[in-house]
């Protein structure tokens, strides 16, 4: 008797769940203020336009994504990932090809478009400084690596990703157009010189906390976090000198249950207005080239796309190829 009841209940739940699933789309991102902004700028207009619900999930986890695809149990339809990961995962067969008859790529910044991914937003690693806590703020990567001129703790991104290795090489005098292929030996040697003075940040909120509390009065941060810090009243100074760009990307895992809806969602998310709305909310730059026209001048000034003169582009295809090898060296060096 009990069993019959359980099975009936299970069948009823499944019957309810299947049609509900067909009308929803699951979007996974990194959580925090960025995902809140993505929900407001992308998911809400998408629901208004199509009537489809967008469920928010996260945080994005590459191990989980791989497990879903391998087990053929994909629950994410659209995922926000780092650009270098997107390039690698596309090659490794973990992603669906994007349908560019639905997604209009003619208006998108070509730096951030591949067969398997389009940019989500783009950001820069900039040199951030709490001007109240120090007598002088470092302006260049060389300054940030100069412990004699700028004594004290500095903070850097903890994970193996484009940004820190490039900064070390630029600080050591490598020309911006000669960065790739990365000279890892030289980069780690340079990093060794400040290793004892580094406090690592593993998430954006932590980087803000470190800077605001002057635990590490300067360091390399995502530009959006600096904008938010300045807004919150901290005397936060940003140097855009050789700001290093990288992008987040939107991808569709292989076997995603709502493929068509996923393409439509990406098409909307990368269109001019939602991109502009996200940029206003986060301080990260739009990847749609027409969004700039929709921005107010005040916000536009603070975005990486206004800083292209001094910009250094992290090479995502190089990173995609060498991501694993760099990662292993990176963590081994950190733990040493």
Distance in Å from the first CA to the final CA of the chain: 62
124 touching other proteins, by CB under 8 A: no
131 touching other proteins, by CB under 8 A: no
93 touching other proteins, by CB under 8 A: no
332 touching other proteins, by CB under 8 A: yes
CB 25 within 8 A of CB 51: no
By C-beta, is 280 or 323 nearer to other proteins?
Answer: 323
Q: Cβ-count burial of 84 within 10 angstroms (0-12 exposed, 13-18 middle, 19+ buried)?
A: buried
Which residue in the set 8, 53, 73, 213 belongs to the binding site for other proteins (CB under 8 A)? 213
192 touching other proteins, by CB under 8 A: no
Closest listed residue to residue 262, CA positions, set 74, 84, 114: 74
CB within 8 A of 257, min separation 6: which ones?
21, 74, 75, 77
CB of 191 to other proteins, least distance (A): 12
Q: What DSSP letter does each residue of 147-202 carry, written as one string?
A: TTTS-S-EEEE-SSSTTHHHHHHHHTT--GGG--S--HHHHHHHHHTTGGGEEEE-
**Does a cis peptide bond (omega within 30 degrees of 0) precede residue 309?**
no
By C-beta, is 212 or 267 nearer to other proteins?
Answer: 212
Among residue numbers 136 through 155, which ones bind other proteins (CB under 8 A)? 153
By C-beta, is 161 or 295 nearer to other proteins?
Answer: 161
By C-beta, is 75 or 334 nearer to other proteins?
Answer: 334
91 touching other proteins, by CB under 8 A: no
| H/E stretch holding 129 | strand 118-130
CB of 19 to other proteins, least distance (A): 28
| Angle value at C-alpha 323, between 181 and 175, nearest 5 degrees | 25
Q: How many residues sit close enough to other proteins to count as binding (CB under 8 A)?
A: 23
Phi/psi for 140 (5° steps) reads: -120, 170
Closest listed residue to residue 206, CA positions, set 52, 32, 17: 32
By C-beta, is 42 or 156 nearer to other proteins?
Answer: 156
CB of 132 to other proteins, least distance (A): 12
CB of 62 to other proteins, least distance (A): 5
CB of 13 to other proteins, least distance (A): 19
334 touching other proteins, by CB under 8 A: yes
CB of 206 to other proteins, least distance (A): 8
By C-beta, is 7 or 331 nearer to other proteins?
Answer: 331
230 touching other proteins, by CB under 8 A: no
335 touching other proteins, by CB under 8 A: yes
By C-beta, is 160 or 282 nearer to other proteins?
Answer: 160
CB 152 within 8 A of CB 197: yes
Which residue in the set 158, 225, 254, 280 belongs to the binding site for other proteins (CB under 8 A)? 158
CB 69 within 8 A of CB 236: no
Among residue numbers 27 through 86, which ones bind other proteins (CB under 8 A)? 61-64, 66
DSSP code at position 296: -
Closest listed residue to residue 125, CA positions, set 323, 304, 294: 304
Which residue in the set 40, 134, 176, 199 belongs to the binding site for other proteins (CB under 8 A)? 199
The C-alpha atoms of residue 288 and residue 236 are separated, in whole angstroms, by: 28
CB 121 within 8 A of CB 248: yes
2 touching other proteins, by CB under 8 A: no
Q: Tell me how long the chain is.
A: 336
* Residues within the interface to other proteins (CB under 8 A): 61-64, 66, 153, 158-160, 199-200, 202, 213-215, 324, 327-328, 331-332, 334-336
């Amino acid at each position: 008797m009990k069993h019959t009841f359980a099975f009936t209940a299970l069948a009823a739940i499944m019957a309810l769940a299947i049609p509900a699933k067909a009308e929803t789309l699951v979007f996974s991102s990194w959580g925090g203020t960025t995902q809140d902004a993505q929900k407001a700028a992308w998911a809400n207009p998408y629901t208004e336009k199509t009537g489809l619900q967008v469920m928010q999930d996260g945080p994005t986890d590459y191990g989980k994504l791989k497990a879903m695809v391998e087990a053929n149990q994909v629950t994410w339809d659209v995922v926000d990932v780092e650009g270098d990961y997107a390039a690698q995962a596309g090659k490794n067969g973990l992603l669906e090809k994007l349908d560019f008859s639905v997604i209009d790529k003619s208006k998108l910044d070509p730096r951030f478009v591949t067969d398997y991914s389009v940019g989500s937003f783009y950001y820069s690693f900039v040199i951030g400084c709490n001007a109240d806590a120090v007598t002088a703020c470092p302006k260049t990567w060389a300054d940030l690596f100069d412990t004699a001129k700028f004594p004290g703790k500095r903070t850097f991104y903890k994970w193996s990703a484009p940004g820190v290795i490039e900064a070390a090489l630029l600080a050591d005098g490598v020309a911006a157009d000669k960065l790739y292929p990365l000279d890892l030996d030289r980069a780690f040697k340079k990093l060794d010189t400040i290793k004892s003075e580094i406090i690592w940040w593993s998430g954006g909120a932590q980087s803000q906390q470190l800077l605001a509390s002057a635990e590490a009065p300067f360091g390399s941060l995502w530009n959006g976090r600096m904008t938010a810090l300045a807004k919150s009243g901290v005397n936060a100074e940003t140097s855009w000198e050789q700001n290093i760009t990288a992008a987040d990307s939107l991808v569709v895992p292989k076997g995603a249950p709502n493929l068509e809806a996923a393409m439509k969602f990406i098409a909307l998310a990368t269109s001019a207005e939602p991109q502009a709305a996200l940029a206003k909310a986060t301080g990260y730059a739009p990847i749609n080239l027409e969004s700039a026209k929709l921005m107010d001048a005040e916000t536009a000034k603070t975005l990486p796309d206004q800083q292209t003169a001094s910009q250094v582009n992290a090479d995502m295809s190089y990173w995609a190829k060498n991501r694993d090898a760099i990662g292993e060296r990176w963590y081994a060096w950190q733990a040493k």
